[in-house]
């Protein structure tokens, strides 16, 4: 076997790491290509995050070339190779056996590049690329579909969608993200198999939906979910297809996010909740919204943060119409809610003029301070000689409201007011 040595050094790009791994396979007499999504992304002029490799080498041969490689799906011929700070997924060419559980094949057989390409989901994901030359190896006409902006299941759409039912939602995500038209036979198959999505792990459904909502193409994705009849199986809620009026309007009022979701877990939860709130309000239902939130939480396996943000955003839709009747203190308390800004954007999709007035008030309140540190706390009341008890909360709330109103300007005035309240 010809030895290929690369200089050791710091982490390199994902592409270069994968190319160096592929070169080692070639030197050992095996075929090795970039495979799947990374090829698609390069043809679409996107920058792939990961580069996967498909090779003629068997699992044993992969391990002989990379002894420290770690198996993650060895029964499917999938190995993780660590190289210069990068982790590259390497899989042997294969043909899949029968799919019984609607998720993965019962077994696999050794295959070649053609069988490996034909086992994949959509033509845009079924191509290979030679790492050194950049030549495209296309056994499924994926390049033509990319050029014509078409999403097409490989070979038999019914078979492809039945094999892994999550492909029903993946089809939507790809079509929305890359602005593709779904080929008629594939669309027909999606409609026919839509009900089968109910049998998919709810965690997987929720994860797929999060990926759609985190991307700027979210409106098209939700439109496709509705128009293709996937919404009832996604949300486990039976309602007629909706026009998505609020979701559409939200796209023009919410600052357009990038393809990368916000890094903060709290911000991610609120972004998801904002879109889900608009979608929930768009969908007709006779059930109370609180019950629907519980239902959606189960259907999408929402985290506690996501559920709380959704509840808060929807509760504010009931509160905001009363804004003009609120005292300044209550307006500030309302505006201090972490979901307020996003909830106001949802409210604006239905009542833009009222939302604009609230936004103007909010800007004035911000100059004064929405949630200043309270002048008093429980320890202050105890130091004043007051006995701890249920009245503490009433007194502290009243003092803080007066502070928010601007009628108390210092701690001494707050203590005096608290004493007066304690005698009342």
In the predicted model, is pLDDT for residue 96 greater than 90?
no
- What is the total residue count of the chain? 424
Q: Using a pLDDT cut of 70, give the percent of the chain over it.
A: 89
Token pair of 391 as six digits:
């009245």
Tokens 């559980």 correspond to what residue?
A: 101
Q: Residue 1: its pLDDT value, please?
A: 41
Residue 248 included in any domain: no
Residues 61 and 115 both lie in one domain = yes
**Which CB contacts under 8 angstroms, 24+ apart, belong to 372-379?**
372/403, 372/404, 374/399, 374/400, 374/403, 375/399, 375/400, 375/403, 375/408, 375/410, 375/411, 375/413, 375/414, 376/400, 376/411, 376/414, 376/415, 376/418
In the predicted model, is pLDDT for residue 98 greater than 80?
no
Token pair of 181 as six digits:
């038209």
Mean local confidence (pLDDT), 251-274: 70
Q: Residue 258: its pLDDT value, please?
A: 40
Q: Residue 346: its pLDDT value, please?
A: 96
Tell me the per-residue pLDDT of 323-352, one tens digit each, with 9 for 90 and over: 999 999 999 999 999 999 999 999 999 999
Is residue 349 within 8 A of residue 253, CB to CB? The reply is: yes
User: Bridge-partner residues for 329, per DSSP?
Assistant: none
Residue 184 included in any domain: yes
| The dihedral sign for the CA sequence 201, 155, 108, 75 | negative
Residue 418 included in any domain: yes
In the predicted model, is pLDDT for residue 70 greater than 70?
yes
Confidence of residue 189 (pLDDT cuts 50, 70, 90): very high
Residues 114 and 14 both lie in one domain = yes
Q: Residue 3: its pLDDT value, please?
A: 47
**Residues 39/41/45/46 CA torsion (nearest 10 deg):** -140
3-state secondary structure the chain: CCCCCCCCCCCCCHHHHHHHHHHHHHHCCCCEEEECHHHHHHHCCCCCCCCEEEECCCHHHHHHHCCCCEEEEHHHCEEEEEECCEEEEEEECEEECCECCCCCECCEEECCHHHHHHCCCEHHHCCEECCCCCCEECCCCHHHHHHCCEECECCCHHHHHHHCCCHHHHHHHHHHHCCCEECHHHHHHHHHHHHHHHHCCHHHHHHHHHHHHCCCCHHHHHHHHHHCCCHHHHHCCCCCCCCCHHHHHHHHHCCCCCCCCCCCHHHHHHHHHHHHHHHHHHCCCCCCHHHHHHHHHHHHCCCHHHHHHHHHHHHHHHHHHHHHHCCHHHHHHHHCCCCHHHHHHHHHCCCHHHHHHHHHHHHHHHHHCCCCCCCCCHHHHHHCCCCCCCHHHHHHHHHHHHHHHCCCCCHHHHHHHHHHHHHC
Q: Residue 423: its pLDDT value, please?
A: 80
User: What does the alpha-carbon distance between residue 274 and residue 270 come to, in Å, rounded to a whole number?
Assistant: 6
User: What does the alpha-carbon distance between residue 217 and residue 214 come to, in Å, rounded to a whole number?
Assistant: 9
Residues 10 and 134 both lie in one domain = yes
Residues 57 and 104 both lie in one domain = yes
Tell me the per-residue pLDDT of 362-385, one tens digit each, with 9 for 90 and over: 999 999 999 999 999 999 899 988
Number of other residues whose CB lies within 10 A of the CB of residue 388: 10
Token pair of 305 as six digits:
């943060």
Mean local confidence (pLDDT), 29-58: 95
Q: Using a pLDDT cut of 90, give the percent of the chain over it.
A: 76
Comparing 250 with 104, the larger pLDDT belongs to 250
Is residue 184 within 8 A of residue 278, CB to CB? The reply is: no
Number of other residues whose CB lies within 10 A of the CB of residue 363: 9
Confidence of residue 75 (pLDDT cuts 50, 70, 90): low
Q: Residue 97: its pLDDT value, please?
A: 52
Confidence of residue 9 (pLDDT cuts 50, 70, 90): very low
- Cα 319 to its chain centre, rounded Å, is 28
Domain that holds residue 172: 149-236
In the predicted model, is pLDDT for residue 388 greater than 90?
no
pTM above 0.85, yes or no: yes
Mean local confidence (pLDDT), 233-240: 88
Mean local confidence (pLDDT), 391-420: 93
Mean local confidence (pLDDT), 180-209: 97
Mean local confidence (pLDDT), 299-308: 97
Residues 325 and 396 both lie in one domain = no
Among 117, 148, 179, identify where a domain stops. 148
Residues 124 and 192 both lie in one domain = no
In the predicted model, is pLDDT for residue 244 greater than 70?
yes
Confidence of residue 100 (pLDDT cuts 50, 70, 90): low
Residue 71: which CATH number? Answer: 3.30.460.10
Residue 253 included in any domain: no
User: What does the alpha-carbon distance between residue 98 and residue 114 come to, in Å, rounded to a whole number?
Assistant: 18
Among 350, 371, 392, identify where a domain stops. 371
In the predicted model, is pLDDT for residue 257 greater than 90?
no
Among 148, 164, 185, identify where a domain stops. 148
Total domains present in the chain? 4
Mean local confidence (pLDDT), 288-301: 96
Residues 21 and 105 both lie in one domain = yes
Residues 124 and 171 both lie in one domain = no
Residue 261 included in any domain: no
Residue 329 included in any domain: yes
**Averaged pLDDT of the chain:** 90
Tell me the per-residue pLDDT of 113-163, one tens digit each, with 9 for 90 and over: 999 999 999 999 999 999 999 999 999 999 999 999 999 999 999 999 999
């Amino acid at each position: 076997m010809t030895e290929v040595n690369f200089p050791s050094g710091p982490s390199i790009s994902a592409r270069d790491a994968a190319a160096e791994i592929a070169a080692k396979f070639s030197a050992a007499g095996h075929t090795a290509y970039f495979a799947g999504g990374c090829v698609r992304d390069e043809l679409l002029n996107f920058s792939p995050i990961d580069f996967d490799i498909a090779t003629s080498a068997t699992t044993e041969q992969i391990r002989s070339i990379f002894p420290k490689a770690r198996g993650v799906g060895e029964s499917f011929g999938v190995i993780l190779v660590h190289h210069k700070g990068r982790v590259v997924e390497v899989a042997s060419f294969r043909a899949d056996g029968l799919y019984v559980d609607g998720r993965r094949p019962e077994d696999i057989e050794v295959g070649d590049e053609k069988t490996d390409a034909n086992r994949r989901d959509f033509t845009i994901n079924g191509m290979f690329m030679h790492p050194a030359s950049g030549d495209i190896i296309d056994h499924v006409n994926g390049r033509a579909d990319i050029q014509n902006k078409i999403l097409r299941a490989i070979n038999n759409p019914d078979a492809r969608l039945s094999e892994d039912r999550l492909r029903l939602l993946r089809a939507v995500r790809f079509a929305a993200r890359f602005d593709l038209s779904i080929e008629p036979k594939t669309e027909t198959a999606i409609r026919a198999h839509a009900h089968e999505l109910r049998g998919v792990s709810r965690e997987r459904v929720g994860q797929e939906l999060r990926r759609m909502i985190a991307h700027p193409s979210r409106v098209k994705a939700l439109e496709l979910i509705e128009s293709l009849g996937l919404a009832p199986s996604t949300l486990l809620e039976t309602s007629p297809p909706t026009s998505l009026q609020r979701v559409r309007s939200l796209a023009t009022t919410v600052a357009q996010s990038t393809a990368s979701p916000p890094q903060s877990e709290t911000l991610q939860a609120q972004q998801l909740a904002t879109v889900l709130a608009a979608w929930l309000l768009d969908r007709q239902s006779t059930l109370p919204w609180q019950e629907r939130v519980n239902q959606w939480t189960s259907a999408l396996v929402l985290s506690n943060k996501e559920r709380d943000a959704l509840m808060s955003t929807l509760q504010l839709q009931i509160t905001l119409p009363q804004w003009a009747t609120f005292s300044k203190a209550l307006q500030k308390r309302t505006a201090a809610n972490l979901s307020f800004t996003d909830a106001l954007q949802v409210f604006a999709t239905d009542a833009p003029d009222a939302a604009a007035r609230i936004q103007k008030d909010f800007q004035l309140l911000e100059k004064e301070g929405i949630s200043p540190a309270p002048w008093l706390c429980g320890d202050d009341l105890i130091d004043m000689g007051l006995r701890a008890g249920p009245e503490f909360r009433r007194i502290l709330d009243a003092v803080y409201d007066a502070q928010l109103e601007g009628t108390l300007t210092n701690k001494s005035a707050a203590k005096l007011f608290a004493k007066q309240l304690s005698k009342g």
